[in-house]
Amino acid sequence: MSELFEIDNLQIQARKEDGTPIPIVKGVSFKVKAGQVVALIGESGSGKSTISMATMAYCRPGLEFPGGEVRLHGKNILAMDPQDQRAIRGNNVAYLAQSAAATFNPAITIGEQVTEAAVLHGTLNQEDANKRAVALYHALELPDPERLGRRYPHQVSGGQLQRLMAAMALVSSPDLLVLDEPTTALDVTTQIEVLKAFKKVIREEGSAAIYVTHDLAVVAQVADHIVVLYSGEVQEQGPTEQIINNPKHPYTKRLMAAVKPTPIAGMSELVDDRFDRDKPNIEVRNMTAGYGGIVDGKPVITVLRDINVKIKNSHVVGVIGESGCGKSTLARVMAGLLPAAKGEIFLDGKELAPDLKDRSREELQKVQFVYQMADTALNPRQQIGDILGRPIEFYRGLKGKQRREEVAKLLQLVELPIEFETRYPSELSGGQKQRVNMARALAAEPEVMLCDEVTSALDSIVSSNVIKLLQKLRDKTGVSFVFISHDLSTVGSFADEIVVLYAGRVVEQGPVDQVLSPPYHPYTRLLISSVPELRVGWLEETMQKREMAVGIARGVEITDTGCPFYNRCPIAIEGTCNVETAPTQEPHPDHFISCHRTMEEITEAENIPQKVLHGFEKAAPEGDKAAAAAH
């Protein structure tokens, strides 16, 4: 009796220009039994995505299979001819990619894309495929299943697209599902929702799955068996319980150490007072901003409302919230990329022009922006020395030898070897590029660095190294950081203060230890509860919690009246929260919470009977919109 699926001594290699092979995957073997979920875990470069595509006998252009076998029902699919391989893809083995937003074709309706594989392979005719798709939309708790297929990918949210991709993979009832980092790019709250849906569907469909990720905490929730990979080799494999509770290999232990801790008070190290840390460095007062031009003193699409944020000298302020809450918009307003419609920005007590082009060179120098994607922020045709040298010359007027010395100092500061000066960005790893990206901002000797999700695209180990570097930079340079992230544990580990943004408003703000301890704003509580913990069974436990029931099912929606969190809040008061703007309370000095409930009620939130929201159906944002419009 053969296994359902087996990878046996698989090798994958690339070739240098002169034809010498570079091994990428060096003899990997593992098995997947029917109904089993096997996790491939490792950081980027470990070959896990390459292996996951090899399950369909596919490799990216430039790669080849020199040896090993991939057996499906005992047959080696690597040895098949391309026609037979194509017949397996999307039929016997189906693939879910990391970014659903990029994986859906923007020009084709969702329904056609979801049903395409089943119809092309002849497993179902179009009509039956449509029926099956609708059934899957129901199972995945997607809104408006009957009409969803007629929409285009841009008309649904990111979390919905991710679940739609699951529908696309499941439509032809594959024997094996391959999920490649399916939740990595998502907000914590969306991640839970998607994990829950995946788990349910895998169980109901009874298909086997390979789950590829770098996040052990996620793996602990879904996998039966774990395979730990490092640089194309299996380091350790075994049942989930065993790997999580009793890791043997040092690399597995390192992965465990890089798992994000649950955000709690006291996790941040406070810095010494070498710098004058009391005077405000950059301050935003009563600021309202948005897109689409300004009509009657209000933006056409308001994103941020009445924002007041003060960042003291050499402080780190973490800005958190889900996507769509206005975090990046806040940084763009501070940088002057998006002029605010109302309100003022002060730098060292002096008012800044709202628009970048009206600011002086000195003012520009003091506020620097670090983008999320180092890949797109660094010019691929410039050497690192030029990328760093240009701002040194532009802002500080240093040339020739002095400029080179400064470049060397910067590289040292971000812990990169001096030889990198003559390299191009494409020759660097993701973490190294992100260091260069930060060094580029530091080259201007700024007072404020606006870091927009700088660790979100990085693996846990690389990302924790970047955070360590940021901590060091803060201690060494006295620069203030605005650190934007949807990841509360990262922010909690090194910020001095936290600003919690929800739907364009500050719902809670204050010193890190106070924000991360009760009383919590209900939204902060939701975010904290959504960070996965490294133990088996956490997902099920969490889904039982009351704040999850409504909080997870619904998404961010910007409202004009009342508290924007109203429709996701387990303790909202109907007739108050949806009508009046929430008052701002100050439970501790400098700690602000905007909520209608008293601090006692918030702390005792578990005891407040949960209200029933009218029009509430699970995962029905359309209903929400109607409900929000009715109020």
- Interface residues with another protein (CB under 8 A) are 53, 56, 58, 60, 86-91, 94-95, 97, 99, 102-108, 116-117, 120-121, 151-152, 154-155, 168
Cβ closer to another protein: 93 or 467? 93
Q: How far is the CB of 121 from another protein (least distance, A)?
A: 6
Cβ closer to another protein: 82 or 349? 82
Instruction: Report the 3 state secondary structure along 32-79.
Output: ECCCCEEEEECCCCCCHHHHHHHCCCCCCCCEEEEEEEEEECCEEHHH
Q: Is 42 left (phi over 0), alpha (psi -120 to 50) or beta?
A: left
Q: How far is the CB of 109 from another protein (least distance, A)?
A: 8
Who contacts 128 (Cβ-Cβ below 8 Å, separation ≥6)? none
Lateral strand order in the sheet of 497-502: 367-370, 448-452, 480-485, 316-320, 497-502, 505-511, 591-594, 584-588
403 phi/psi in degrees, rounded to 5: -60, -45
Cβ closer to another protein: 120 or 356? 120
What's the rounded Cα separation, in Å, for the pair 306 and 284? 9
Q: How far is the CB of 620 from another protein (least distance, A)?
A: 17
Cβ closer to another protein: 76 or 123? 123
Residue type, 518: P
Asked if residue 143 has a cis previous peptide bond (ω within 30° of 0), the answer is no
Q: Which two tokens stand for residue 465?
A: 């190294």
129 phi/psi in degrees, rounded to 5: -65, -40
Cβ closer to another protein: 172 or 190? 172
Cβ closer to another protein: 136 or 582? 136
Give Cα separations from 322 to 191, 313, 554 (angstroms): 11, 27, 12
Q: How far is the CB of 95 from another protein (least distance, A)?
A: 4
What's the rounded Cα separation, in Å, for the pair 450 and 330? 10
Farthest CA pair distance, the chain:
77
Q: How far is the CB of 22 from another protein (least distance, A)?
A: 21
Q: How far is the CB of 106 from another protein (least distance, A)?
A: 7
Residue type, 343: G
Cβ closer to another protein: 91 or 489? 91
Cβ closer to another protein: 57 or 345? 57
**What angle (nearest 5°) sits at the alpha carbon of residue 193, between those of residues 188 and 198?**
120
Cβ closer to another protein: 108 or 353? 108
Residue type, 307: I
Beta strands in 296-388, from DSSP E residues, in sequence order? 298-312, 316-320, 342-347, 350-352, 367-370
Q: How far is the CB of 301 from another protein (least distance, A)?
A: 12
Q: How far is the CB of 99 from another protein (least distance, A)?
A: 7
Cβ closer to another protein: 121 or 588? 121
Q: Which helix (H) or strand (E) holds 112?
A: helix 110-120
Q: How far is the CB of 151 from another protein (least distance, A)?
A: 8
Q: Could you write out the DSSP letters of every residue in 529-556?
A: HHS--SSTTHHHHHHHSHHHHHHHHS--
Q: How far is the CB of 154 from another protein (least distance, A)?
A: 5
